[in-house]
Amino acid sequence: QVRVEESGGHLVHPGRSLRLSCEDSGLSPHGIHWVRQAPGKGLEWVAAMAHDGIKKFYSDSVKGRFTISRDTADNKLYLEMSSLRPDDTALYYCATVRLLLEDGAFDFRGQGTMVTVSS
């Protein structure tokens, strides 16, 4: 079974950077997504990356500030976040692609990691 665990979230000041990790003990053959949920709000898609690490997509709200990447040596996936803003405050989930990267169907495997951006 593909199992992922998110980590790296904590309280940071606006404008600072943070890196989230997603440990994947059974790498999805199709790719990975990051999805976030602000407190009391709905789901917001953040970014996606194909299994080969080449094809990447970002939401307009994070484009140019966030970078999705993977390290095959340690089976980890990353979301590097810079120029953080208070509206980036959310619970961040990584999710494995079920069939196609570009179809919006993915499986949430972890409980998310909380990022709080506040001064």
Partner 1 sequence: SVLTQPPSASGTPGQTVTISCSGGKSNIGSNTVNWYQQVPGTAPKLLIFSHDQRPSGVPDRFSGSKSGTSASLAISALRSDDEADYFCASWDDHLNAVIFGGGTRVTVL
Q: Which is nearer to partner 1, 52 or 74 (CB)?
A: 52
Is 70 a binding residue for partner 1 by CB under 8 A? The answer is no
- Taking alpha carbons only, the member of 79, 94, 87, 89 closest to residue 18 is 79
Is 45 a binding residue for partner 1 by CB under 8 A? The answer is yes
Q: Which of residues 83-112 bind partner 1 (CB under 8 A)?
A: 93, 98-99, 102-108, 110-112
Is 82 a binding residue for partner 1 by CB under 8 A? The answer is no
Which SS3 state, helix, strand or coil, does residue 116 take?
Answer: strand
Is 33 a binding residue for partner 1 by CB under 8 A? The answer is yes
**CA distances to 1, 28, 74 from 36, in Å:** 23, 19, 24
Question: In angstroms, rounded to a whole number, what is the distance separating the alpha carbons of residues 42 and 3?
Answer: 24
Q: Which is nearer to partner 1, 45 or 75 (CB)?
A: 45
User: Whole-number minimum distance, CB 105 to partner 1, in Å?
Assistant: 4
Is 60 a binding residue for partner 1 by CB under 8 A? The answer is yes
Residues that bind partner 1 (CB under 8 A): 33, 35, 42-45, 48, 57-60, 93, 98-99, 102-108, 110-112
